[in-house]
Amino acid sequence: MSIPHFERINGKKVLFVHDRPMILSAGEIHNSSSSSPERMEMLWDRAEALGMNALLIPVTWQMIEPEEGSFDFTLTDALIDQARRRGGHLGILWFGSWKNGECMYAPEWVKRDMDRFPRAEVVKGKNRTKIDLFGGISYSTLSYLGEETMKADSRAFSALMRHLREKDGEENTVVYVQVENESGVMGAAREHSDRADEAFAGPVPAPLAEYLRANTGEMDEDFKRSVEGGMAAGTWSEVFGESAEEVFSAYHVASYINAVAAAGKAEYRLPTVVNCWLKQGPAGSYPTGGPIHQMMEVWECAAPEIEAFCPDIYVQDFLGVCDSFVKRGNPLFIPETANNGHVGSRLVYAVGHYHAACFAPFAYEEIGDVKPNPFAEMFGGDSTDPLLKQQQDIAEYRMYSSTILSMTPMLAAAYGTGRLQAAIAERGESAAMEFTDIGFTAQFPERFFPKKDGVCLILEESPECFYILANRVLPRFYSVNPDKPDAEILSLEEGYFENGEWKRTLLRNGDELNLMAFEPVFYRLRIFVY
Ligand code: DGJ
């Protein structure tokens, strides 16, 4: 049996575990919870209540290598054993050199030795600075130019991966690893040590300049302008103009993380991904150099070991962020998103529309009881988001998630094709989805659905048979076959999948033949055109 890996289905990257497709309907835990298997018991209970199949949990450098060269995997093993007992999977988040553009998870022996493991001088000559934007918080992180740091992080990560192979190479409870967390530097667009200044005044590596000039097709407009307006070779400023400082950071952070990922994958080739704190202002106001979609081409070039670039979405324009991350064959892989009142419909839409590999609300255990957090800005969140005042119903989320997971093989087979489509109220008042012979308009009239989180996922099994997962929506059908302009329902069943087999719970007819979803429904619809 192969180890977990990504495969492309109709061009979409899909995770395979034990040679079968797996969609991750997961939850990311709070940062400190995985230091306590006792606390994790409650988190597994919540994951079960929400119908999730995986948890995304930090394993930290501090935790596994408290003294240089001496590794302790007791806690890691306890977490894996627990996941197995609970019948779930894990994505491991490697908190090594970076966590939200800081280095708080590096072990003590790294933190104390600033000669061997230099800090990023975002202000020249300073190892620590204050970030005005966040009320003057004190800030420091490791330098992305620290070769010894990169080697030490790589050694630790490869020890972790070796251990995972030994412990989990057969069972594959752990299905992927995220290398670092929200990497980059805050407070400036790049480092300003003498070494960094010298490198910045030096030539751009030719392969990078060539790669970027050859790959402007889906590039962010501002970045494209810089690349096309710059020289083909020269210093960073000559080649990349206004984008130079950020590209410099992205190139060095990506190269560093690529080295860490490569060292780990030499031991155990699990899929590796990276996540980012989104750009929400000028460079320096978010971890700059991180894998934001605007820098995806730089990351692709400098970090070929990384298989997905992932957004952490805590902003209001959820759909806009998703749209911008599915370029260049990148799968939609959301390791973190706000657990607000729309999180359920966003899960369904991520799978139905973007054919997502992973969807994971952060702090999922608070779903149904989200309290606005005025400090959210300090972690990249928008605390003014009105959806944070709405709650997601837990039973509804469970229904969405478990239905999706019960039909994973069918969904995955339709990934990358028009046989799987979805509409969401967040996108507008109504939306059309057209299949071989039948079209559907998903209507979300405010009169019936004041809560604007309606959603409708439709999978065409054959031109006459559809599976529909829907809530707070009126799906209306019509023929799209010009030779047979009328359409009529043959049967409408409610039910569920058990071991891949459809089980009918209700045959709808009469008053209930109309397609409508005033609560979460899962239909099997047979329909013909004439
Ligand atoms: C993004 C980070 O990646 C998470 O670890 C966490 O800090 C969340 N922000 C919000 O708290």
The tens digit of pLDDT for each residue in 399-428 reads 999 999 999 999 999 999 999 999 999 998
Q: Which of 33, 34, 35, 182 to mutate to test the pocket of ligand 1 (most atoms within 8 A of CB)?
A: 182
Q: What pLDDT shows up at residue 26? A: 98
Ligand 1 center from residue 40 Cα (angstroms): 18
Confidence of residue 372 (pLDDT cuts 50, 70, 90): confident
Confidence of residue 132 (pLDDT cuts 50, 70, 90): confident
E-strand spans in 227-281?
Answer: 272-277
pLDDT of residue 373 exceeding 90 = no
- Among residues 416, 427, 450, the alpha carbon closest in space to that of 318 is found at 427
Computed from CA positions of residues 410, 411, 417, 423, in that sequence, does the dihedral angle turn out positive or negative? positive
Mean of per-residue pLDDT scores for the chain: 97
Ligand 1 center from residue 126 Cα (angstroms): 26
- Ligand 1 pocket, 312 CB below 6 A? yes
Confidence of residue 509 (pLDDT cuts 50, 70, 90): very high
Ligand 1 center from residue 277 Cα (angstroms): 8
Q: For tokens 């079968």, what's the residue?
A: 20
Which helix (H) or strand (E) is 226 found in, with range?
Answer: helix 221-229
pLDDT of residue 378 exceeding 90 = no
Q: What pLDDT shows up at residue 401? A: 98
Burial of 162 (0-12, 13-18, 19+ CB in 10 A): middle
pLDDT of residue 505 exceeding 80 = yes
Ligand 1 center from residue 14 Cα (angstroms): 25
Q: What is the mean pLDDT of residues 277-281?
A: 96
Interhelix angle 194-201/244-267, rounded to 10 degrees, is 110
CA distance 155 to 147: 12
Query: Which residue's CA is the closest to the ligand 1 atom numbered 5?
Result: 31
- Ligand 1 pocket, 379 CB below 6 A? yes
Q: What is the mean pLDDT of residues 366-370?
A: 90
Ligand 1 center from residue 404 Cα (angstroms): 26
CA distance 69 to 159: 9
pLDDT of residue 284 exceeding 90 = yes
Q: What pLDDT shows up at residue 369? A: 87
Contact 44, 16 (CB under 8 A): no
User: Which is the closest atom of ligand 1 to the Cα of 93?
Assistant: 5
Ligand 1 center from residue 214 Cα (angstroms): 34
- Ligand 1 pocket, 380 CB below 6 A? yes
The tokens describing 247, both together, are 């590209």
pLDDT of residue 119 exceeding 90 = yes
